[in-house]
A and B are shown apart, each in its own frame.
Chain A
Amino acid sequence: RKEVEQDPGPFNVPEGATVAFNCTYSNSASQSFFWYRQDCRKEPKLLMSVYSSGNEDGRFTAQLNRASQYISLLIRDSKLSDSATYLCVAHGSSNTGKLIFGQGTTLQVKP
């Protein structure tokens, strides 16, 4: 089983749509989780941290379910500029900061 697993997509949605991405992780000892965004051939950029209580940043909402080892990202009112690959990321169980990346989910927002 992959350590962090995502549906690679692509998700093709019209502008204004709501889209949800899911992710599962295998190591129950992982403590911290993040969503990063990666544009083609660029570096990963932090989108948001993910907390058990759920957290929202503008049009973006992230949820963590530790019991199911499941993470989600909801994007409301999609913009053309949201087109990118979204990376689900977990910290490894050691306290060394090692990040474990999913393969990424590609989103294409169309006019």
Chain B
Amino acid sequence: EPEVTQTPSHQVTQMGQEVILRCVPISNHLYFYWYRQILGQKVEFLVSFYNNEISEKSEIFDDQFSVERPDGSNFTLKIRSTKLEDSAMYFCASSDINSNQPQHFGDGTRLSIL
């Protein structure tokens, strides 16, 4: 069964540094998403991306965050200057056909900010 893959599985970074989280969505999917889950809390939407542009972003997704699909297969989330409160599990997801379809999640990147 095709799956969403994410790298790295765990990223440890000093506060103020830039991080890039990488995702390879399922190949025929058209809609891409990032979510995050702070330990012990619910999964929160960050951003949706379709047709090479952001279609919706949450309040969390401020100007420190950006997304890119540079080569037609990878989908990246960049955090420019990390804060302690960015420590969380970051999940990438994708869906096909239309945005109402179920989303398939990657196994996540655990981001730890020191």
- Quick one: CB contact mask for B50-89 with A, threshold 8 Å, 1 for yes? 1000011010000000000000000000000000000001
Contact B100–A97 (Cβ < 8 Å):
yes
Query: Measured between C-beta atoms, what is the minimum distance from A46 to chain B in Å?
Result: 5
**A61, CB-defined interface residue at 8 Å:** no
Do A43 and B105 contact each other (CB < 8 Å), given the known contacts A96-B48, A101-B43?
yes
**A25, CB-defined interface residue at 8 Å:** no
**Majority SS at the chain B contact face:** strand
Instruction: Give the B interface residue count (CB, 8 A).
Output: 27
Size band of the A side of the interface? Answer: 20 to 34
Contact A98–B106 (Cβ < 8 Å):
no
Measured between beta carbons, the chain B residues less than 8 angstroms from A95 are 98-100
Question: Which of A99, A100, A101, A103 counts the most B-chain CB atoms under 10 A from its CB?
Answer: A99
Spell out A's residues near B (CB within 8 Å).
Answer: 31-32, 34, 38, 41-46, 49, 87, 91-92, 94-104
**Which 6 pairs of residues, A with B, have the shortest CB-CB distance?**
A97-B99, A96-B56, A96-B55, A101-B43, A43-B105, A96-B48
